[in-house]
């Protein structure tokens, strides 16, 4: 079987996020990008399926800073083909545009399964998976935490709120939104990544036009604002503690 994993790189929250002059977007000069956590799980699930069923795994990333590292790391884990969508991705695109950019590639490669991360922390217009499934007219199951493949179908384990699990059968080809791989994403030794950098090749696919229509537009991006009823207690640990005690006493809880 052939498994396609389109991944997203999202702002790394280890670095402080800065809002740009427009007041409606992140200042990308200060942002470093990291593989979306759920996409890491999608890659892991694809590699697990490959190890079990001898599938072919293709990982696709948009051409942004850090994409090569993500792709070579995927190769070191066992991905067979690496593809980079080359276009105007640097300033960030929404999922509508990314889904449309992926359609020709998916049609060309005809994968049996498309694994996406169920969500990413910068999804403003819904997750990528359902948008892609809609455009491709394929079935979609989200919040998946386990996949078993057989001829023409997959049995997937879907997580529901409240601790419920469902096993459902989905005909292939299909798009899945991976909530968690069956095991945590594996660590791959740095020397293996270095090896992949020397041996693996990244195929580049130009994307002429990015069409974000259908997604919302951001009018204002801002830090959480202090509410009227919130009080910020200042001072060292001792001072803060004694003020807290005072407040608790006044409120009658102490």
Partner 1 sequence: MEMATITENRSFTETFYASLQELPDGERIRTCLQCGTCSGVCPFGYVMDFPPSRMIAALRANMFDRVTTSDTVWMCVSCYACTQVCPSKIPLTPGLLARTKEELLLAGEVPAELQDALANSQRYGNPLGESPRRRADWAKGIEPEVTIMARARRPVDVLWFVGDYGSYHPRVQHVSRALAKVLNALEVDFGILGSEENSDGDSQRLAGERGLFEMLAEKNGRAFRKYQFNEIITGDPHAYNALKNEYPALGIAYPVRHYTQFLVERLDQLKPLLKRELKAKIAYHDPCYLGRANGVYDEPRALLSAIPGVELVEMSHHRATSLCCGGGGGGMWLDGFQWEKARVRLSEWRVREAVAVEADILAVACPYEPPRFEDAVKVVPGAERLVVKDIVELLVEAMDL
Q: Give contact residues for partner 1 (rule: CB under 8 A).
A: 14-16, 34, 184, 186-194
Q: Which is nearer to partner 1, 52 or 107 (CB)?
A: 52
Q: Tell which residue, 46, 80, 75, has the closest CA to residue 196.
A: 75
Q: Which is nearer to partner 1, 19 or 193 (CB)?
A: 193
Q: Which is nearer to partner 1, 22 or 183 (CB)?
A: 183
Q: Which is nearer to partner 1, 105 or 193 (CB)?
A: 193
Cis bond before residue 80 (omega within 30° of 0):
no
Name the token pair of 85.
Answer: 């969508």
Q: How far is the CB of 7 from partner 1 (least distance, A)?
A: 16
Q: Which is nearer to partner 1, 7 or 102 (CB)?
A: 7
Q: How far is the CB of 13 from partner 1 (least distance, A)?
A: 10
Q: How far is the CB of 22 from partner 1 (least distance, A)?
A: 23
Q: How far is the CB of 237 from partner 1 (least distance, A)?
A: 13
Q: How far is the CB of 191 from partner 1 (least distance, A)?
A: 3
Q: Which is nearer to partner 1, 172 or 200 (CB)?
A: 200
Q: How far is the CB of 49 from partner 1 (least distance, A)?
A: 16
Sign of the alpha-carbon torsion through 66, 67, 70, 76: negative
Distance, in Å, from the CA atom of 46 to the CA atom of 185, rounded to the nearest integer, reads 11
Q: Which is nearer to partner 1, 104 or 184 (CB)?
A: 184
Those residues whose C-beta lies under 8 Å from the C-beta of residue 209, and which sit 6 or more positions away, are none
Q: How far is the CB of 58 from partner 1 (least distance, A)?
A: 21
């Amino acid at each position: 079987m052939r498994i396609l994993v389109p991944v997203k790189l999202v702002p790394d929250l280890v670095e402080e996020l800065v809002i740009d002059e427009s007041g409606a977007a992140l200042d990308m000069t200060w942002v470093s990008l990291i593989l979306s956590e759920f996409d890491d799980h999608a890659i892991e699930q694809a590699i697990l399926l490959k190890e079990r069923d001898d599938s072919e795994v293709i990982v696709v990333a948009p051409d942004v800073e850090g994409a090569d590292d993500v792709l070579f790391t995927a190769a070191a884990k066992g991905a067979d083909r690496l593809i980079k969508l080359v276009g105007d991705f640097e300033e960030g695109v929404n999922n509508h545009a990314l889904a449309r950019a992926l359609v020709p590639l998916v049609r060309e490669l005809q994968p049996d399964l498309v694994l996406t991360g169920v969500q990413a922390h910068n999804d403003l217009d819904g997750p990528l998976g359902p948008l892609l499934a809609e455009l491709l007219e394929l079935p979609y199951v989200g919040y998946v935490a386990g996949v078993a493949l057989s001829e023409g179908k997959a049995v997937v384990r879907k997580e529901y709120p409240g601790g419920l699990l469902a096993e459902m059968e989905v005909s292939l080809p299909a798009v899945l939104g991976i909530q968690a791989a069956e095991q945590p994403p594996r660590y791959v030794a740095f020397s293996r990544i270095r090896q992949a950098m020397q041996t693996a090749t990244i195929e580049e696919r130009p994307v002429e036009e990015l069409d974000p229509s259908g997604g919302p537009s951001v009018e204002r991006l801002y830090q959480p604002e202090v509410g009227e009823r919130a009080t910020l207690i200042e001072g060292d640990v001792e001072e803060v503690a004694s003020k807290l005690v005072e407040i608790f006493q006044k409120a009658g809880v102490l």
